[in-house]
Amino acid sequence: MYSAPARFCVKDGSPLVEVEDEAESDALPLTPEETDRYATLAGKLLDGRYQVDRRMGEGGMSYVYRALDTETGQPVALKILLPRLSRDPAAVERLRREAAIAMRLEHPNVCPILRLGETSDHMLYLVMPFLEGEALSDREARAGPMPLAEGISILVQVCHGLEHAHELGIVHRDLKPENVMLVPGGAGEAVRAVVMDFGLARQRRAGPELAKLTTTGIVLGTPEFMSPEQIRGKQLDGRSDVYALGVLAFELFTGQLPFPGKSAQETMIARLRGSPRRLRSVREDLPGKLEAVIDRCLAVDPAERHPSMSALGYAFEAVTATGVLGRIFGR
């Protein structure tokens, strides 16, 4: 029997299955008309341009479809805003903000937004490149905790992508395995990690319009990966993403989350108190240097964390480095 943070068996890596009580879900169901319109776009031509192939998934605010852009001949992913959210001005503003932010990103480890569109009957959608591969969360569920070298390669690439975003003043704010895609790599690279979904991303210097979106008392993000300052609703910078990547790294190598708790509220309290489990208490075969890197990510005080994604990337690389760099970091 495994407690709440566990996602994989630490002995054989088998994925654990959690039974969800449907009564606990407070999501409003789609009406039959909405279901017919939004959930059955496969085979249709959207907005006179996008030939929809099949539905790929469904999230908290959208359906995602694979489609063909008939103007360019390229496969694309369409993110369709759910109707109950499209009626919410704040949600629509968030979608427009996501597009404006992601259109500025240009890096091999970040997925850009190509276009924000709206049909004549007010269906809002985002167009993104279609990436062949699988989400990191699916890779974890399929194969369990990741080998050291493979995991370090993925984490360093995520650092590169987020460093690019941070240089533009953009904080992701919702980094988690579901938002990292693994696609076939190029020459000398087994897999390329691509950071997805900047839907909760926020520029560090937000104008009054954006500020209103975060003064409603609602904390945006995924509870298991939130930094203490995000839980408290404080001003965020790139070090909040450093914290989230530390949580992601812990789960990547162990199949468990670093903070114990039977509910999201309990894990939040544990994070505010700064009491994570040690990496090697779950997987003692991992190097102590990796444990030290993750421990620093998970510091309650942002000033005690790695100061940037670039610094964190170097620290991850040093875990498996040899030669001069390895001696500098005490290998």
pLDDT of residue 170: 87
Q: Which residue has the tokens 């994989």?
A: 8
- At 281-317, the pLDDT tens digits run 999 999 999 999 999 999 999 999 999 999 999 999 9
Fold of 37-129: Phosphorylase Kinase; domain 1 (3.30.200)
Residue 157 Cα distances to 46, 83, 116, 174, 324, angstroms: 34, 35, 27, 17, 22
Domains in the chain: boundaries: 37-129, 134-328
DSSP assignment, residue 187? Answer: T
User: DSSP readout, 258-293?
Assistant: SS--SSHHHHHHHHHHT-PPPHHHH-TTS-HHHHHH
Task: Pick the range with the lowest mean pLDDT from 51-55, 62-66, 95-99, 318-322.
Answer: 95-99
Which structure tokens are listed for 206? 């937000």
Active-site annotation, residues: 174
Give yes or no for a contact between 308 and 244, defined as CB atoms under 8 angstroms apart: no
Distant-in-sequence, close-in-space partners of 310: CB < 8 Å, separation ≥ 6: 159, 163
134-328 domain in CATH 1.10.510.10?
A: yes
Q: Summarize the confidence of residues 238-242 as an average pLDDT.
A: 96
